[in-house]
Amino acid sequence: MTDTRLLPPTAEGIAEAARLLAAGGLVALPTETVYGLAGDARDDRAVARIFEAKGRPQFNPLIVHLPDLEAARRYARFDDEALRLAEAFWPGPLTLVLPLGDTPVSPLVSAGLSTVAIRMPAHPLAQQLLRAFGGPLAAPSANPSGRVSPTRPEHVLDGLSGRIEAVLDGGTCGVGVESTILAPGEPPLLLRPGGLPAEALEECLGRPLVAGGSADRPSAPGQLASHYAPEAPVRLGATEARPGESWIGFGKLGGPRNLSPSGDLVEAAANLFHFLREADREGRPIAVAPVPERGLGRAINDRLRRAAAPRP
C-alpha cells in the first residue's frame, strides 16, 4: 500500500509530481479529456506498475504523452500528413498512432507493436508537468480496469487510492471523454471516437475515415496486439528447457533468463517483452516456466498464451 497524496496545482505541486515520476512513481494528472495515470514511458517497472494499479488483465498499448511536436518526433515517425494533423489539432484531444521513432519507450507501452500512440494534451497542468518531468509519460485513464474514466480528483482517489503515489489536483476535466485515436494512412483509421469530432479530421485530411474497430482490437494490419508473437514456437508451463530450447524462467525455476528470481510479478512484467525478444533472436523454440495467475500474472499469462497460440 502507498499513501496517495493529493498535490496542489501550484509550482511546488508540479515539482513534487515530477520528482515522484522521475523516481519511478505513478502520478494521476489532469488532462483536458480525463485524468491519466502517468508513469515514465521509458521505465519498464513504472509501466508495469500502471497495469498493476489498474488491475488490467491484458497488456494493451498505452498512449505516450509529450509536451510538444519536437519531443514527439523523437518517439514516433511523422510523415507529411501526420505533421499536418499535429499542427492542426495539437495540443488537444487527438491521439495519433504512428511508427515508432528512434528514441525507445518501454516495449510494454507499445505492447511489443511497431507503432506507438502519441498525444499532446492541452491542459495547462499536464503541459507544465510534462515540461517539468522532461520525458515521455505513459498515461491510460486513471481508473481501475472496467470502471468509468475519472474526470475529478475524487474519482481517481475512489478507484486508485493506496495504489499510486499522488494525484495532481486539476479540478474537473473539461472534455470528459477520452481523446480521438487516429492511425493516419491509406485509409486513415478511426481507432476510437473521442473528444475531437471525426468530421474535423476528415476535413483536414480531405477524405473519409474508416472505423478501425474498437481501439482495444485495432483491425489495421500489424496493429492488432495479438499479432505480436515470437517467430519461434513457445511452450508454456515448462519445468525446464529441453535440449535445443531457449529458456525463460520465473522464481525458483530460474536460470540465466529469469523473469523474476524473487517471484515479483511487477519485475516479471517489466522483463517480459525484453526476454521474449531476446529468446526469439536465438532462433530456437522457447520454453517458459509457469507464472501464477494472479495480479499482473494474468496479463503476463494472457501475453504468453497469445505468443504460444498457433499462427494464422
Q: Does 189 bind ligand TXA (CB under 6 A)?
A: no
Residues 116 and 120: their CA atoms lie apart, in Å, by 13
50: its cell numbers: 500502471
| Contact of 25 with 72, CB cutoff 8 Å | no
Q: Does 151 bind Mg ion (CB under 5 A)?
A: no
**Least spacing, CB of residue 243 vs ligand TXA, in Å:** 38
Q: Which residue has the cell 492488432?
A: 224
> Considering CB distances under 5 to 8 angstroms, the limit depending on partner class, which of Mg ion, ligand TXA, none binds residue 110?
ligand TXA
Q: Does 117 bind ligand TXA (CB under 6 A)?
A: yes
Please give the size of the binding site for Mg ion, defined by CB under 5 A: 1
Which is nearer to Mg ion, 14 or 225 (by Cβ)? Answer: 225
Q: Where do the H-state alpha helices sit in the chain?
A: 11-22, 44-54, 69-75, 80-89, 124-133, 153-160, 198-205, 265-281, 296-308
Per CB under 6 A, the list member of 4, 128, 179, 260 interacting with ligand TXA is: 179
> Considering CB distances under 5 to 8 angstroms, the limit depending on partner class, which of Mg ion, ligand TXA, none binds residue 95?
ligand TXA
Per CB under 6 A, the list member of 13, 36, 136, 150 interacting with ligand TXA is: 36
> Interface residues for ligand TXA in 195-214 (CB under 6 A)?
none
Report the amino acid identity of residue 210: V
> Interface residues for ligand TXA in 96-115 (CB under 6 A)?
97, 110, 113, 115
> Interface residues for ligand TXA in 221-260 (CB under 6 A)?
223
Residues 94 and 287: their CA atoms lie apart, in Å, by 41
Q: Please report which helix (H) or strand (E) contains residue 287, including its range.
A: strand 286-288
Residues 111 and 96: their CA atoms lie apart, in Å, by 16
> Considering CB distances under 5 to 8 angstroms, the limit depending on partner class, which of Mg ion, ligand TXA, none binds residue 155?
none
- List the 286-288 sheet strands across, edge first: 234-235, 286-288, 246-248
| Contact of 4 with 155, CB cutoff 8 Å | no
Which is nearer to Mg ion, 180 or 258 (by Cβ)? Answer: 180
Q: Minimal CA–CA distance to 102: which of 133, 121, 78?
A: 78
Residues 136 and 6: their CA atoms lie apart, in Å, by 22
Q: Is the peptide bond before 93 cis (omega within 30 degrees of 0)?
A: no
Q: Does 218 bind ligand TXA (CB under 6 A)?
A: yes
Please give the size of the binding site for ligand TXA, defined by CB under 6 A: 28
Q: Minimal CA–CA distance to 211: which of 238, 192, 197?
A: 192
Which is nearer to ligand TXA, 10 or 219 (by Cβ)? Answer: 219
Per CB under 5 A, the list member of 110, 115, 141, 258 interacting with Mg ion is: 141
> Considering CB distances under 5 to 8 angstroms, the limit depending on partner class, which of Mg ion, ligand TXA, none binds residue 249?
none
Main-chain dihedrals φ then ψ at residue 118, nearest 5 degrees:
-120, 140
Query: Collapsing DSSP states into helix, strand and coil, what is residue 45?
Result: helix
> Interface residues for ligand TXA in 130-169 (CB under 6 A)?
139-141
Which is nearer to Mg ion, 141 or 260 (by Cβ)? Answer: 141
Q: Does 110 bind Mg ion (CB under 5 A)?
A: no
Q: Closest residue to Mg ion, Cβ-based?
A: 141
83: its cell numbers: 505533421
Q: What is the binding site for ligand TXA (CB under 6 A)?
A: 31, 33-34, 36, 60-63, 95, 97, 110, 113, 115-117, 119, 121, 139-141, 178-179, 181, 191, 215-216, 218, 223
Q: What is the binding site for Mg ion (CB under 5 A)?
A: 141
